[in-house]
């Protein structure tokens, strides 16, 4: 099988790392722009949030919220794509799954 390179632009957005890659895939598939924070706003913060503001009392706050799995389930219907979650696996296993999805054309539809 020949090597295929799939280019998906990535635009970083502070504090949205748990959902920003999904935003990139959505924009790649649909050609529609959505603001950087949109995925996080629609689903609520996932898992863990740490806020630091020296001018506030208290200056640091920590919040635990829904699990990342629930976070993704909360946005599937909004963006109309299925998110497959495989927990407790190694990075090489996850990378292999991503490569298979690319080969199937899952990111191209």
Binning pLDDT at 50, 70 and 90, where does residue 1 land? low
Per the prediction, the chain carries an average pLDDT of: 73
Binning pLDDT at 50, 70 and 90, where does residue 70 land? confident
pTM (predicted TM-score): 0.42
Whether 72 shows a pLDDT value over 70: the answer reads: yes
75 and 38 Cβ atoms separated by less than 8 Å = no
- Alpha carbons 6 and 29: distance in angstroms, whole number: 12
Q: What is the pLDDT of residue 67?
A: 65
- Report domain extents, the chain: 17-104
Which residue pairs, CB below 8 angstroms and at least 24 apart, start in 28-34? Answer: 28/107, 29/81, 29/107, 29/108, 29/109
5 and 103 Cβ atoms separated by less than 8 Å = no
Mean pLDDT, residues 49-61 taken together: 78
Whether 47 shows a pLDDT value over 70: the answer reads: no
């Amino acid at each position: 099988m020949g090597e295929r390179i799939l280019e998906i632009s990535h635009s970083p957005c502070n504090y949205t790392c748990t959902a920003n890659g999904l935003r990139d895939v959505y924009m790649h598939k649909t050609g529609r722009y959505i603001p950087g924070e949109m995925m996080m706003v629609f689903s609520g913060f996932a898992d863990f949030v740490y806020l630091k503001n020296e001018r506030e009392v208290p200056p640091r706050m920590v919040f635990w919220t829904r699990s990342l799995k629930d976070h993704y389930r909360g946005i599937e219907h909004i963006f109309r794509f299925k998110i497959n979650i495989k927990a407790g696996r190694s990075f090489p296993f996850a990378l292999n799954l991503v490569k298979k999805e690319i080969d199937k054309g899952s990111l191209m539809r």
